[in-house]
Amino acid sequence: DAGVIQSPRHEVTEMGQEVTLRCKPISGHNSLFWYRQTMMRGLELLIYFNNNVPIDDSGMPEDRFSAKMPNASFSTLKIQPSEPRDSAVYFCASSLVDSHSGANVLTFGAGSRLTVL
Amino acid sequence: GQNIDQPTEMTATEGAIVQINCTYQTSGFNGLFWYQQHAGEAPTFLSYNVLDGLEEKGRFSSFLSRSKGYSYLLLKELQMKDSASYLCAVKGGDYKLSFGAGTTVTVRA
């Protein structure tokens, strides 16, 4: 299994530009999460989907952020227009029930490091 | 909301034991997780506790006391590769997973 796949791994853009981050969850996982990580705020949950349906987007910072999951194997997080304060590592994760513990365990992608100048 | 506290940094010697404490205040509780994150990499799952007591998995153990809102992660026989950030995460009554700021552990030779 290739794990959770994110692209791009790194993106540098200028303020005002549109940014689209992509995620392919692990096949068979029915929940997908978008997190943002910064030194100041740590890991923050932005939005999560269950069976492709957005369940909770209360963590999305403002209207400039949007996320979609058109099918079980693909999700996007879009920022339009981008601002310097959006600079962070954006992680996508999908979840599976751990057979040993019964816990719903998140598997993270490698992350997309975004720098907005 | 959730409030999760853990120390910022800890340093220990190779072969030693380190205990990372985590205290939390949540609206409801549906489990506590520990994740390991090496610099520049993604977090990876280490352990899960939902009932009081100790869960052991090789060199790593995790303990939970729900009445005290307290957990610890115990790392035994420390190795250089254990140098990483350790994240305490709590699943609250809304089933969302919230992370603490992480504890950076540095293992010295």
Per-residue model confidence as pLDDT tens digits over A35-90: 999 998 999 999 999 889 998 999 998 899 999 999 999 999 999 999 999 999 99
Q: What 3-state DSSP class applies to B81?
A: helix
Q: CB A56 to CB B94 under 8 A?
A: yes
Q: Kindly report the number of other CB atoms within 10 A of residue B30's CB atom.
A: 16
Q: Which two tokens stand for residue B42?
A: 């993604």
Q: Which of B46, B48, B47, B6 is nearest to B30 (CA)?
A: B48
- Alpha helices by DSSP H, listed for A8-81, are none
Scan for tokens 């100041």, then name that residue. Answer: A40
Which of A43, A56, A101 is closest, CB to CB, to B87? A43
Percentage of residues of chain A with pLDDT beyond 70? 94
The reply to whether A96 touches chain B by the CB within 8 Å rule is no
Comparing A108 with A99, the larger pLDDT belongs to A108
What band does A103 get if pLDDT is binned at 50, 70 and 90? confident
Task: Report pLDDT for B92.
Answer: 86
- Identify any residues that bridge with A91 across adjacent strands, giving them in sequence order: A35
By the 10 Å C-beta count (0-12 exposed, 13-18 middle, 19+ buried), A55 is classed as middle
Q: How confident is the model at residue A8 (pLDDT cuts 50, 70, 90)?
A: very high
Q: Which of A43, A48, A111 sits opposite B99 (nearest CB)?
A: A43
- Report yes or no: B44 at the A interface, CB cutoff 8 Å: yes
Cβ atoms of A97 and B25 closer than 8 Å: no
Output the pLDDT for position A7: 97
Query: What pLDDT does B2 receive?
Result: 75
